[in-house]
Structure 1
């Protein structure tokens, strides 16, 4: 479980995130949605300890994120942020291998290599594993980054806008991979997503944020309500029932 208790991040007297209070259950895929500036990425980065919190406490699997040793946290939690600055002359396999660092400390074992191969195959990267990152399309590169975080084999996986710069087809492919990772490997995946319908189709739960606060949290059918979404996004949103669940119409 991810527990967020009275968490605040203050940027100025006028701009702050929180206080945030939420418990995200173990396993499954939870999506953070909301308008720009709602605080989604800030919340995710604080959970992943890439951003310090000013007040409150965050626990992941009963580990206090602020106080735990990095080596202990790295075996429980992994995070992929929007901006990634890896050397482009790394191959896909070399990048994925970085996910094993908490265990191997840079000296990959046969077991590490088997785990790397497992996730390269899972994300359909087998034909690309010896290609350099700068030789890949945006969608291929994004899959390689996700392979890296999955190779860390943590129970909790945080992804900040994994659909960023992907077209519709590649976005569908990515969400299917994340859905399968939650199902097949029992991962607890928390992701920031801008597209409400992708969140609705592939998530178990949705957390909606507005103005630095948690506006609503629950199962997909509880959040996909026209009145609720219209208030959060401040534009008229209708809901129709599609073949795979509710669909938001702007």
Structure 2
């Protein structure tokens, strides 16, 4: 993706570092067809798919997420990945790892993904995936491809939770905690403003959902006193 972007930079049809919308649609659809044709969900190919399609060079372009009042190619792709992730715990964990890093680096894009963030926040249990840990430790390709994914905002928590279904929730919580820091320290620049807006949007989304969604009430009830205190601090930072 990066080489393609550089190679086509300056093209009259370009909209994002040499990648136009139609080209991106072809890429995401063909990549998805290839992905679903694979019977087994191995870590290496899933991670390679995400890092190559959801690439930094195109992710910060809003037209890739919403175009002419409809989902853009990357939005479509993320929806497909997370839809599959509801049936594939390792897919949703890898997606949460990569997306949280991308969203943190591109706060202005978060506003397009409130529904997906809520899904990640509600996903998971305390179940432990021993196969995931084994494959990651024994398969060299898996290690390499996961290392190419967007870097986690908190490597220690990633190491602690990546083998559990709770990781999707943890990744979202950590991301918004980091966004609160950005909003507090860079409140006059574009990223700081975007971090503040996205944090408020998601907090409002959660508060609205708690009224109607018993799963989120259970999620809130499961928080420890320390977690609730940290959550209150985050809300104060967002105000």
TM-score (norm 1): 0.33
TM-score under structure 2 normalisation? 0.34
Considering Cα pairs closer than 8 Å and 6+ residues apart, tell me whether 1 or 2 has the greater RCO.
1
